[in-house]
Amino acid sequence: MNLRGLTCVFALALGIAGAAPPAAVEGRVALAAARPLPVVNQRYEIVTRGGVLATDPPVAIVYLEGPFPPPVDPPVAEIRQKDLAFVPSLLAVQAGTRVEFPNDDDTYHNIFSFSRPKRFDLGRYRSDERPVPSQVFNQPGLITLRCDIHEHMRALIVVLETPHFVVTGPDGRFQLGGLPAGRHTLKAWIDSRTTREVVVELDAGKTLRVDFPGAGNPAGER
Amino acid sequence: MTSPPDRGKSLRAARPSGGVRWLAIGVFLAVPGAATAGAWFDDLEQALSFSSPGGNLRGRVSGTLDLEGHVFADPPGLIESDGHALFSPRLTTFLDAQLGPAVYGFAQARIDRGFDPGERSLEARLDEFALRFTPSRDAGVSLQLGRFATVVGNWTNRHGSWGNPFISAPLPYENPTGIWDNEPPATSTILLQWSHVLPGLPAPVTRVEKRLRVPVLWGPGYTLGAAVLGAWRDVRYALEIKQAGLSSRPETWREANSEAWAHPAVSGRLAYVPNPAWNFGLSAAAGSYLRPEAAATLPAGRSRGDYRQLVLAQDVAFAWRHLQIWAEIFAARFEIPGIGNADTMAWYLEASQRFSPQFQAALRWSQQVFGTIPEAGRAVAWGHEVWRLEVAPAYRFTPQVQLKLQASLQRGDTGNRRFGHGAAGQLTVRF
Q: What's the pLDDT score for residue B28?
A: 55
> Based on the domain organization, do A98 and A175 belong to the same domain?
no
> pLDDT tens digits, residue range B51-83?
998 889 999 999 999 999 999 988 889 998 889
Query: Is residue B152, in this structure, part of any structural domain at all?
Result: yes
Quote the pLDDT of residue B264. 95
Q: Domain of B297: which CATH number? A: 2.40.160.10
Q: Is residue B380 part of a domain?
A: yes
- My answer on whether A80 and A131 are in the same domain is yes
Q: What does the pLDDT read at residue A11?
A: 44
A129 chain-B contacts, CB cut-off 8 A: none
Instruction: Give the pLDDT of residue B71.
Output: 96
Nearest to A22 by CA among A191, A197, A175: A175
Out of B106, B231, B319, whose CB is closest to A124? B319
Domain limits at B51?
32-430
- Whether B270 contacts B282, CB under 8 Å: yes
| Domain-embedded: residue A138 | yes
Mutate: best of B104, B353, B395, partner A, most A CBs <10 A: B104
Q: Give the pLDDT confidence score for residue B147 in this predicted structure.
A: 97
Do A189 and A139 share a domain, yes or no?
no
Q: Where are the alpha helices (DSSP H) in A97-222?
A: none
Residue A109 is assigned to a structural domain of this protein: yes
Chain B nearest CA to A164, separation (Å): 27
Which is more confident, B415 or B296?
Answer: B296
Decide if B206 is inside a domain. Answer: yes
Are B319 and A108 in contact, with CB atoms under 8 Å apart?
Answer: yes
Same domain, A83 and A106: yes
Tell me if the bond preceding B393 is cis, omega within 30° of 0. Answer: no
Mean predicted lDDT score pLDDT of chain A: 87
Whether A192 and A114 share a structural domain: no
Task: Return d(Cα B321, Cα A202) in angstroms, integer.
Answer: 49
pLDDT of residue A3: 46
My answer on whether A109 and A74 are in the same domain is: yes
Candidates A150, A171, A53; CA nearest to B55 is A53
**CA-based nearest residue in chain B for residue A111:** B357
Model confidence pLDDT, tens digit, residues B119-170: 999 999 999 999 999 998 777 899 999 999 999 999 999 999 999 999 999 9
Residues A130 and A207 in one domain: no
Instruction: Looking at the structure, tell me whether residues A117 and A194 fall in a common domain.
Output: no
Residue A140 has pLDDT above 90, yes or no: yes
Q: Taking residues B267-291, what's their average pLDDT?
A: 97
CB-based contacts of B279, cutoff 8 Å, min separation 6? B154, B271, B272, B273, B315, B316, B317, B318
Q: How many domains does chain B have?
A: 1
Name the residue among B347, B394, B407, B431 with its Cα closest to residue B168. Answer: B407
Given this model, what pLDDT does residue B73 score? 87
Instruction: Tell me if A218 is assigned to some domain.
Output: no
Which residues, listed in sequence order, are joined to residue B321 by a DSSP beta bridge? A124
CA distances from B285 to A32, B254, B258, B342 (A): 52, 20, 21, 16
CATH number, domain of A196, equals: 2.60.40.1120
**Position A49 in a domain:** no
Q: Are residues A85 and A150 in the same domain?
A: yes
CA separation for the pair B24, B261 (Å, rounded): 45
By residue range, what is the domain housing residue A185? 21-31+58-68+169-213
Within this chain, do residues A106 and A151 fall inside the same structural domain, yes or no? yes
Beta strands in B22-56 (DSSP E): 49-51
Q: Are residues A134 and A84 in the same domain?
A: yes
In a domain, A132, yes or no: yes
A105 with A152, same domain? yes
User: Is B5 a residue whose pLDDT tops 50?
Assistant: no
- Residue B22 inside a domain? The answer is no
Work out the pLDDT band at B15, boundaries 50, 70, 90: very low
State chain B's mean pLDDT as an integer: 90
- The reported pLDDT for the residue numbered B141 is 93
The pLDDT of residue B346? 98
The answer as to whether B135 is a domain residue is yes
pLDDT of A7 > 80? The answer is: no
| pLDDT 10s digits, A37-71 | 889 999 999 888 755 666 678 999 999 998 788 88
Q: Within a domain: residue B16?
A: no
Instruction: Tell me whether residue A14 is in a domain.
Output: no
User: Among A217-221, B16-20, B123-127, B215-219, which is the least confidently predicted range?
Assistant: A217-221
Q: When comparing pLDDT for B188 and B28, which is higher?
A: B188
Nearest CA in chain B to A44: B157
Position B53 scores a pLDDT of 86
| Lowest-pLDDT range of A190-199, B19-28, B275-284, B395-404 | B19-28
Q: Is the pLDDT of residue B323 over 80?
A: yes
Q: Establish if B97 touches chain A: CB-CB under 8 angstroms.
A: yes
Q: How far apart are CA B127 and CA A25, in angstroms?
A: 57
Q: How many domains does chain A have?
A: 2
A27 lies in some domain: yes
Nearest CB to B231; choose among A37, A47, A124: A47
Determine the 3-state secondary structure of B22 from DSSP.
Answer: helix
Give the CA angle between residues B166, B169, B171 to the nearest 5°. 120
The answer to the question of residue A53 being in a domain is no
- Give me the mean pLDDT over the B177-199 stretch: 95
Q: With contact defined as beta carbons under 8 Å apart, do B295 and B309 qualify?
A: no
